[in-house]
Amino acid sequence: MDENDRPAPPPGLRTRAVHAGTDAAQPFGSLTAPIVQTATYTFANTAELAAHMRGEVERLEYGRYGNPTQRAAEEKLAALDGAGDALLCASGMAAITTTLLALLRAGQHVVLTDDGYRRTRQLCRQVLARLGIEVSVVPADTAAIVAALRPETRVVMTESPTNPYLQIADIPALAAALAGHPAKLVVDATFATPVNQRPLAQGADLVIHSATKYLGGHNDLLAGVIAGPAPLVGAIRELQGVLGAVPDPHAAWLLVRGLKTLPLRVAAQNESALRVASALERHPRVARVWYPGLASHPQHALARELMTGFGGVVTFALDADLDATSRFIDAVRIFRIAPSLGGVEALIEQVALMSYFELTTEERLAIGIRDSLVRLSVGLEDPEDLERALLDALDTSA
Ligand SMILES: Cc1ncc(COP(=O)(O)O)c(C=O)c1O
């Protein structure tokens, strides 16, 4: 075989992040894919409209059914997750609601884990339950999930790593347990990103991300994505056209731009988070650190098996009460107090006050949220600055 006939090796993740979905010829010879900021698309004449309606001409029709900037983002996202197709939605929650409503009917059942984004639980317990869909919320471990399966279960949904305790779902074991069962395994891999883990290759049927977090990466857009086999994603896309939680073209463009640096950003955040987690674990005021990259994490071995990096979120508990924990947070430099994660700016939150403010200490403890729990999202600042900011605040706020 001639040297030039040899098939090119499949592009790596960084190459895909830069080029996938955006390499086609662009208007005006533009290097970057433009923002197609339109609500609708025109037809030259009635014959063209009729040909489109008969399915003879593939073209865009109306903004709720698709947009070229959205499509560029979707192709990039599908390439990163190794998926047949991807669907972009208005937010991470829009991705979750559209998926669950596409997969579930009255009389069917969904299994969900108790450690995870609170609004996903709320959606299942309050909204889906009202539609006659039964919900089991179980601990985030394989045995508990498998024990909750029923003949009418159609979705098993878990995060990995979970929010806020960073538990790791054993996706291959769950997929094996679901073999022959009609339930789809849906993994919210927002905290992992396609850089650290590819759940579809490990047996998940669908992967969901809040693209608001690492994928966008700059704390300036809201979006969500569902990736998986084209027929399944296509069915969810059909429902999106009805439910309407579509992304704005400008948000899709910001996402395309952010995705180009995703592998570099996540690699830096993995490294900084491990450094910060290790430093926190050594400090006498810190009662416990949860970070999958630490040997002390109960699922460290599983994390090493399934992930190539452990993410930029670090959760820890202080040896302190609610108010002393707040004093520590107020003393931390650089980290900004805000919900969300995954962007270039380091963020810090006292979980009890950010997400569970209305509950008493006892009520929070009953659902596993202690008052001294702190969640960090490590940004792209110098890791030594982030470490110093946290250690200084631990010392000065004592
Ligand atoms: C794991 C996880 N999934 C989904 C969401 C919802 O995403 P969005 O805020 O983009 O709707 C969040 C938001 O914090 C999250 O942490």
Residue 360 CA to ligand 1 center (angstroms) comes to 24
CA–centroid distance, 161 to ligand 1, in Å, is 13
User: Which residue type, as a one-letter code, is found at position 55?
Assistant: G
Average pLDDT over residues 15-28: 94
CA distance 40 to 12: 36
Tell me which H or E stretch contains 89: strand 85-89
Q: Is 117 a catalytic residue?
A: yes
Q: What is the per-residue pLDDT across 241-262, written as a single tens digit (0 to 9) for each?
A: 999 999 999 999 999 999 999 9
User: What phi, psi does 272 have (nearest 5°)?
Assistant: -65, -40
Q: Which of 91, 99, 117, 166 to mutate to test the pocket of ligand 1 (most atoms within 8 A of CB)?
A: 117
The per-residue pLDDT for 3 is: 60
Distance from C-alpha of 297 to C-alpha of 122, rounded to nearest angstrom: 28
In this prediction, residue 62 carries a pLDDT of 98
DSSP element (H, E) containing 99: helix 92-103
93: Cβ below 6 Å to ligand 1? yes
Cis peptide before 161 (omega within 30 of 0): yes
The answer for residues whose C-beta is within 8 angstroms of residue 392's C-beta and 6 or more apart is 331, 333
To the query of whether residue 41 is one of the catalytic residues in this protein, the response is no
Is residue 181's pLDDT more than 70? yes
Give the closest residue (by CA) to ligand 1 atom 2. 117
Please give the angle made by the CA atoms of 12, 191 and 279, to the nearest 5 degrees. 100
Q: Measure the CA–CA gap between 197 and 191, rounded to whole angstroms.
A: 10
How many whole angstroms from 395 Cα to the centroid of ligand 1? Answer: 33
Closest atom of ligand 1 to 96 CA is 4
Helix residue ranges per DSSP H, 283-357: 300-306, 322-331, 351-354
In short, whether 92's Cβ falls inside 6 Å of ligand 1 is yes
CA distance linking residue 16 with residue 22, whole number of Å: 10
Is the domain 13-259 a CATH 3.40.640.10 member? yes
pLDDT, tens only, 76-108: 999 999 999 999 999 999 999 999 999 999 999
Are 191 and 145 within 8 A, CB to CB?
A: no
- Pocket test of ligand 1: the residue of 98, 118, 119 to mutate, having most ligand atoms within 8 Å of its CB, is 119
Q: What would the pLDDT profile of 327-377 be if each residue is shown by its tens digit?
A: 999 999 999 999 999 999 999 999 999 989 889 999 999 888 999 999 999
Q: Mean pLDDT throughout 52-79?
A: 97
Indicate if the pLDDT at residue 396 is higher than 70. Answer: yes
Say which range, 59-68, 177-186, 355-364, has the weakest mean pLDDT. 355-364
Atom of ligand 1 nearest to the CA of 340: 14
**How far, in whole angstroms, is CA 284 from its chain's centroid?**
33
Compute the distance between CA of residue 154 and CA of residue 152 in angstroms, rounded to an integer: 6
Residue 141 CA to residue 169 CA, distance in Å, equals 7
Q: Indicate whether residue 13 lines ligand 1 (CB < 6 A).
A: no
Provide the pLDDT for residue 4.
Answer: 67
Predicted pLDDT of residue 63:
98
Tokens of 366: 């009953």
Q: What is the pLDDT of residue 347?
A: 98
Q: Two tokens at 343?
A: 């962007």
Q: Is residue 395 scored above 60 in pLDDT?
A: yes
Q: Is the pLDDT of residue 208 over 90?
A: yes
The per-residue pLDDT of the chain, averaged, comes to 96
Instruction: Assess contact for 164 and 185: CB atoms under 8 A.
Output: no
375, two tokens: 């969640």
Is 81 among the catalytic positions?
A: no
CATH 3.30.2130.10 fits 262-396, yes or no: no
User: CA 375, 381, 387, 392 torsion: positive or negative?
Assistant: negative
Kindly state the average pLDDT of the residues 187-195.
98
Instruction: Tell me phi and psi for residue 288, to 5 degrees.
Output: -160, 145
Structure tokens at 131: 């539609």
**Domains in the chain: boundaries:** 13-259, 262-396
End-to-end CA distance of the chain: 70
Q: What is the pLDDT of residue 17?
A: 98
Please give the Cα distance from 120 to 297 (Å, whole number).
25
Give the C-alpha separation, 125 to 128, whole Å: 6
Catalytic site includes residue 336: no
CB of 215 closer than 6 angstroms to any ligand 1 atom: no
Instruction: Please give the Cα distance from 121 to 163 (Å, whole number).
Output: 12
Average the pLDDT over 377-395 and give the result: 98
pLDDT of residue 1: 54
Distance, in Å, from the CA atom of 376 to the CA atom of 283, rounded to the nearest integer, reads: 16
Q: How far apart are CA 91 and CA 243, in angstroms?
A: 13
Q: Mean per-residue pLDDT for 196-217? A: 98
Run of H or E residues at 373: strand 373-377
Residue-level pLDDT at 8: 87
Q: Does residue 91 line the site of ligand 1, with CB under 6 A?
A: yes
Element (H, E) at 113: strand 109-113
pLDDT for position 10: 86
Residue 335: closest CA among 325, 322, 345: 345
pLDDT in tens, 3-12: 667 888 889 9
User: Given this model, what pLDDT does residue 204 score?
Assistant: 98
φ, ψ for residue 314, nearest 5 deg = -130, 130
